[in-house]
Amino acid sequence: MFDLSDYKWWQKAVFYQIYPRSFADGNGDGVGDFAGMIAKLPYLQELGVDAIWLSPHYPSPFVDCGYDVSDYQDVGREYGTLDQFKQFLNQVHQRGMRLVLDMVLNHTSDQHPWFIESRSSRDNPKRDWYMWRDGIDGNPPNNWFSAFGGPAWEFDARTSSYYYHYFFKEQPDLNWRNPAVKEAMFNAVRFWLDLGVDGFRLDAVGTIFENEDYPPIPEGMSQEELYRLGFKKSNPDADEGFVAYFMQMFGQQVDKPEVHQLMQELRTVVDEYEDRVLIGETDAIEFYGDGTNELHLNFNFPLMQADKLTARHVKQNQAQRLSALPEKAWPCNTLGNHDVSRVYTAFGDGINNDAQAKLHLMLLLTLKGTPFLYNGEEIGMTDLLIRDQQLFRDPLSLLYVDLERRVNGTDEGSAVVVGAKKGRDRNRTPMQWSNEPNGGFCPPEVTPWLPVNPNYADGVNVNDQVSQPDSMINFYRRMLLVRKQNPALLVGDYQEIDIDNEELLCFSRKYANDELLVVLNMSAENRQVVLPRKVNQILINTLKNWVHIEDPAPTLLPYQGVVYRVG
Ligand code: GLC
């Protein structure tokens, strides 16, 4: 039996993702910044999170909302200065928390000096830092697509050649087969590690290498067809035909075996420093390597890739995921981030959303593995559908408006709604701090970079909720505290217990002599459960004062969850 102190900090931590542009605006210009983040550190400490994952804070033309980096060793001016970054990092550490940055390896911005040089002439020393190929008879080098729509090749008139981009055309792919690229990027990694950051969330790791023979894919696939089929590669419910189609379409461009060699090298770099962590934006188990030599954590995305979080889905997911992990690999769960619908919206049924959101947090914080939360979910923030396309900031929204009109013949007004739903602005709106105008995010007279969800005025804000004992935020605080105080939840063994009810999820977490029993009613009906263990304490309950400890067969209300201590 390992002692609790034998586990690494990132195995026991709860991570909280900050989307810097929307978190806290310290200088009142409508854009979040480091001054704002510094001021909110006491808030995060009181909430009870242990580590922060910061979405890109680098200089960026902001075509892909910061994931198009134009300098890996600086801070975007709208967020502040490198000095402010250092203050932030320092204060995060002083408060006993950790900071993990977002590292975008696959591509840079087309405004990065490396690319500006690379495109300037065929014999520029940086030419081979990106993926340049000549066209064939006036056509692109092959018929590959970009995952963000349209061809994967962009013609550049200056040198009459094409460059490859898996994402937007403003995000040219780096050529990782060039050792100079690796060196430059590893230097960027070292730059932040030297400053003391605790690790990285690695963006889109699966896309770093492509098949270098550039084989064309079978004809007959178009962006429109892909749109018709939807973008659900790893959704277990997606039909197999679609998955096969997707792999046919993008299989040459993702998850190439060489990436594992690279990740192992990166791990070696990071291991030169003490106690740092690498987290992959991928659900592919292979990125764990042998469990000790590649990435420390990779997201269990299939958990959240479901229309509804049913007990059946979670059971299947856990059974598959936990059995697939190599020995020593540590699980990592999340229900939301800056790319997907907010938890409250995605998994709420429109009637029981509050109860569901609390239950889903209990699930996430009691499953085995490191949990990741996304800023704003602690107050039950919801998606905001922007109705005016002038206000869209995510180009994917505009792309979908266009596709929806062309593919389905939808009128403009309805197509804008589709664009708003499928784009990612909906889940990136500013944090709602109070019931003052603009949700207290920025001064009333300032226009925030994305509109604030008007439900800030109806109680969906930090200030109002802090004073209400049963609010979402206070449940988050209690649940985070219960997790922190119970080693069984941090590192204990996980065992599902079959209680003969499809709608209930019951599992035990056990550490040393302590066993906890988690019982979750994941349905909209009352459900009686005969407790499979004798219990002597209720650690936390999603609904106030409802379950009695003496009752060996309690009836759980819709979406009620309880954590008991066995004994
Ligand atoms: C990742 C990011 C996403 C971004 C993409 C391209 O998936 O999470 O926001 O658009 O990579 O960098």
- Separation of CA 465 and ligand 1 centre (Å): 32
Residue 380, pLDDT score: 98
Nearest to 105 by CA among 240, 308, 287, 374: 287
Residue 174 forms beta bridges with which residues? 130
Give residues (CB < 6 A) around ligand 1.
64, 67, 104, 167, 203-204, 281, 338-339
Closest approach atom of ligand 1 to CA 166 = 6
Residue nearest to atom 4 of ligand 1 (CA): 67
- The yes-or-no verdict on residue 358 having pLDDT over 90 is yes
Closest approach atom of ligand 1 to CA 107 = 12
**pLDDT band at residue 225 using 50, 70 and 90 as cut-offs:** confident
- The yes-or-no verdict on residue 237 having pLDDT over 70 is no
* Phi-psi region at 438: left, alpha or beta (left = phi > 0; alpha = psi -120 to 50): left
Average pLDDT in the 371-381 region?
A: 98
Ligand 1 pocket test, pick from 339, 394, 424 with the greatest ligand atom count within 8 Å of Cβ, gives: 339
Closest approach atom of ligand 1 to CA 68 = 12
Element containing residue 504 per DSSP (H, E): strand 504-511
- Separation of CA 338 and ligand 1 centre (Å): 9
- Separation of CA 250 and ligand 1 centre (Å): 16
The better pLDDT of the pair 337, 235 is held by: 337
Sign of CA dihedral 274, 200, 75, 87: negative
Residue 350: how many other CB atoms lie within 10 Å: 7
Nearest to 163 by CA among 220, 119, 228: 119
Residue nearest to atom 12 of ligand 1 (CA): 67
Average pLDDT in the 237-255 region?
A: 77
Tell me the catalytic residues.
Answer: 203, 281
Quickly list DSSP for 148-200.
Answer: TSSBSEEEEGGGTEEEE-SS-TTSPBB-TTSHHHHHHHHHHHHHHHHHT--EE
- Separation of CA 254 and ligand 1 centre (Å): 14
- Separation of CA 466 and ligand 1 centre (Å): 33
Residue 171: how many other CB atoms lie within 10 Å: 25
Ligand 1 pocket test, pick from 108, 203, 208 with the greatest ligand atom count within 8 Å of Cβ, gives: 203
Residue nearest to atom 11 of ligand 1 (CA): 204
Nearest to 300 by CA among 292, 313, 290: 313
Cβ neighbours of residue 326 closer than 8 Å, sequence gap 6 or more: 285, 288, 289, 290, 291
Average pLDDT in the 147-174 region?
A: 96
- The yes-or-no verdict on residue 359 having pLDDT over 70 is yes
**pLDDT band at residue 1 using 50, 70 and 90 as cut-offs:** low
* pLDDT, tens digit, 9 for 90 and up, residues 424-469: 999 999 999 999 999 999 999 999 999 999 999 999 999 999 999 9
Closest approach atom of ligand 1 to CA 337 = 8
Residue 235, pLDDT score: 47
Token look-up 């480091």 returns: 34
Closest approach atom of ligand 1 to CA 104 = 12
Residue 547, pLDDT score: 83
Q: Is the pTM of this model over 0.95?
A: yes
**pLDDT band at residue 152 using 50, 70 and 90 as cut-offs:** very high
- State what percent of residues in the chain have pLDDT above 70: 96
- Separation of CA 147 and ligand 1 centre (Å): 11
Q: How far is CA 143 from CA 137, 150, 229, in A?
A: 13, 10, 19
Closest approach atom of ligand 1 to CA 148 = 10
Residue nearest to atom 2 of ligand 1 (CA): 203
Ligand 1 pocket test, pick from 167, 168, 422, 426 with the greatest ligand atom count within 8 Å of Cβ, gives: 167
- State what percent of residues in the chain have pLDDT above 90: 91
- The yes-or-no verdict on residue 231 having pLDDT over 70 is no
Cβ-based burial of 27 (10 A; exposed 0-12, middle 13-18, buried ≥19):
middle
Average pLDDT in the 91-105 region?
A: 98
* pLDDT, tens digit, 9 for 90 and up, residues 534-558: 999 999 999 986 788 999 999 999 9
- Separation of CA 67 and ligand 1 centre (Å): 6
* pLDDT, tens digit, 9 for 90 and up, residues 472-492: 999 999 999 999 999 999 999
Ligand 1 pocket test, pick from 17, 54, 64 with the greatest ligand atom count within 8 Å of Cβ, gives: 64
- Separation of CA 202 and ligand 1 centre (Å): 10
Q: How far is CA 567 from CA 495, 513, 533, 535, in A?
A: 17, 10, 8, 5
Average pLDDT in the 140-149 region?
A: 92
**pLDDT band at residue 5 using 50, 70 and 90 as cut-offs:** very high
